[in-house]
Structure 1
């Protein structure tokens, strides 16, 4: 049995049109899950219908989302466009594959899993950031890859950990800038692995500290941590067919902004002991 997916309040971004479209996609996925379980429609027809609906959704929803970001002059627009295109490319690749009775059932499960996971983490990790950086109190004229006094929480291990993350992000940015478009980015990906390892260690220490002091905001922090780690681990270059260097430049800037917003909005609320 395939799990059904629930659209919860923490997936709302505050724009009625976009929120309704996100909700509709969850409904589409759950409709396919239900139809797959009832087994009343041939799997080949169900797969073909699902791919057509995903294509229609991506074509229309991504336009609406990007238009809204243009209206508010959101700095993450270019990265969002590339992530949207990666999803479109995935749907196109799946649509071009031959649909047969032998492969339809398994492909339905795979596409549902991919679509639901991508959607959830894209909304929580990218769409929820729409407008967030500009609305924050962060010094937006400063170098986004430099750890600054405004990020100090007064909790030593946390400040040292956040400073380390900014240091790795700076390394990534410098390495990307030194490359040409046709170069291999394997060494950049190794730095993203280093970033993920350092972030995982810091998250574990932070959550242990919050548990020890009985911090009431720990559930919010846990969700944010899960999404931050997932975002780093899911850097998607496989489905980026062009401008991979530009995508990586924008991705590392996005991660830096995401970290900055989290520190200012959440980490600085954690009490010192």
Structure 2
């Protein structure tokens, strides 16, 4: 489970709200994984991955707009991280999720949680530290 903590806050309201939404999506995936009463989770897995895909693109566009507005000097390297994540999620093979749903969900969730957490703490934090200097 991905727990929101103050360490994730950038102090940019719109971006912080969007990060919280990404946490909510990841936590829905976690709850689905824990739900032992559901045998066939495929439709839910697809819905969560598709929502994450669309919301992430929306969020990255917002974040990239903020970086442009503030003249953030490391925009291109930051955008490359975003592009890499989009490539990864666009390449997720949802057909493979049907056969091994629990394994697929756990593997996907582990990657997403690690990526979101590390990206916010190690990359996004640099946006506000550079802007506030």
Q: Tell me the TM-score range normalised by the shorter chain.
A: 0.7 to 0.9
For 2:84 and 2:28, how far apart are their aligned partners in 1? Answer: 22
**Which residue matches 1:146?**
3
Q: C-alpha offsets along residues 241-271 of structure 1, whole Å, 9 cap, x if unaligned? A: 8533112112112111111111111100112
**Which residue matches 2:59?**
202
Of 29, 44, 55, 1:187 maps to 44
2:34 is aligned with 1:177: yes
**Which residue matches 2:101?**
244
Segments ≥4 residues shifted beyond 6 Å: none
Of 255, 259, 262, 2:116 maps to 259
Alpha-carbon contact 1:146-1:167 (below 8 Å) kept: no
Gaps of 5+ in 2: none
For 2:98 and 2:17, how far apart are their aligned partners in 1? Answer: 37
**Structure showing the higher helix proportion among its residues:** 2
The alignment partner of 1:266 has SS state of: helix
Q: C-alpha offsets along residues 119-161 of structure 1, whole Å, 9 cap, x if unaligned? A: xxxxxxxxxxxxxxxxxxxxxxxx5x12211111111111111
Of 12, 24, 37, 1:155 maps to 12
Give runs of aligned pairs for residues 68-217 of structure 1, distance below 5 A: 143=1, 145-179=2-36, 183-217=40-74
2:111 is aligned with 1:268: no
For 1:238 and 1:154, how far apart are their aligned partners in 2? Answer: 39
For 2:45 and 2:104, how far apart are their aligned partners in 1? Answer: 12
- Larger Cα-atom Rg: 1
For 2:99 and 2:42, how far apart are their aligned partners in 1? Answer: 14
Task: Please report how far the alpha carbon of residue 206 of structure 1 lies from its aligned counterpart in structure 2 after TM superposition.
Answer: 0.8
Alpha-carbon contact 1:181-1:244 (below 8 Å) kept: no
The alignment partner of 1:154 has SS state of: coil
Alpha-carbon contact 1:153-1:268 (below 8 Å) kept: yes
The alignment partner of 2:95 has SS state of: coil
Larger RCO, structure (CA 8 Å, separation 6 or more): 2
**Which residue matches 1:133?**
none
Distance 1:152 1:264, change over 3 A: same
Task: Please report how far the alpha carbon of residue 175 of structure 1 lies from its aligned counterpart in structure 2 after TM superposition.
Answer: 1.5
